[in-house]
Copies of this chain bind each other. A is one copy, B any other.
């Protein structure tokens, strides 16, 4: 265990490291976490949490390998090098989805979504007006179409905050957020829902009543106006001073760079 508790803020942090540290703070001892494909930020965040404040965070790498010991973050978050040296392989059809559906385990889920709207609905299906004749065919909903509906707390991460990815209304809902806002999600019989959106500019959460996305903290050096400009819908004007997202510590930065991801795989998600 590193001396993470007494470590001062880093001076040379980068945005990927800040996002990883912020996401790591969402996961605690006793939680279980799993990751899907191309999930360098979540994987690094789980790993960082396990090395610092949450040593008993259970990690199901690639939704397959329990408590793995990979050498470092590999080029794929959905291949065997990530779940090297696991204590159990969880089978997809019979085991993984039973565990995920149950409700007691894997209560938090990290979502990457091509489009995300003001009520936290995600879209990885199509861009365009006609589902069967799309302008752009996206990869598809995969597990998100499940995770959005089965009571999970959803943590969106978005390394490229821009008006194309944060939109007023998604072209197509393939991951259920708060639907049309207000009580619509609860009225549909759904529990859980979007919790946070962590981008390269800020952290956002959802108003407890309207369920509209709102800025919770600005990353160091970012203004509300910059966030608004990069967002495809109108953000509620903050009441009073917005807090600043915590800067990762020297030790967190060291762990990410030296232990977790020495090959900088996490940076692949940025600048797209």
Copies of the chain in the assembly:
2
Report the nearest B residue to A93, measured CB to CB: B94
Give A4-61 interface residues, CB cut-off 8 Å to B: none
Interface size class of chain A, counting residues whose CB lies under 8 Å from the partner chain:
under 10
Taken together as a complex, chains A and B put the C-alpha atoms of A94 and B93 apart, in Å, by: 10
A120 to B: closest C-beta gap in Å: 35
Report the nearest B residue to A94, measured CB to CB: B94
Q: Mark A151-185, 1 if CB is under 8 A from B, else 0.
A: 00000000000000000000000000000000000
Q: Mark A110-124, 1 if CB is under 8 A from B, else 0.
A: 000000000000000
Report the nearest B residue to A91, measured CB to CB: B94
Q: Mark A185-226, 1 if CB is under 8 A from B, else 0.
A: 000000000000000000000000000000000000000000
Taken together as a complex, chains A and B put the C-alpha atoms of A93 and B93 apart, in Å, by: 13
Contacts of A94 in B (CB 8 A): 93-94
Q: Mark A121-150, 1 if CB is under 8 A from B, else 0.
A: 000000000000000000000000000000
Contacts of A93 in B (CB 8 A): 94
A90 to B: closest C-beta gap in Å: 13
Report the nearest B residue to A95, measured CB to CB: B94
A246 to B: closest C-beta gap in Å: 45
Measuring CB to CB, which residues of chain A are less than 8 angstroms from any residue of chain B? Answer: 93-94
Query: Which 2 pairs show the lowest CB-CB distances between chains A and B?
Result: A94-B94, A93-B94
Ordered by A's residue number, 2 sampled pairs between the chains whose C-beta atoms are within 8 Å are A93-B94, A94-B94
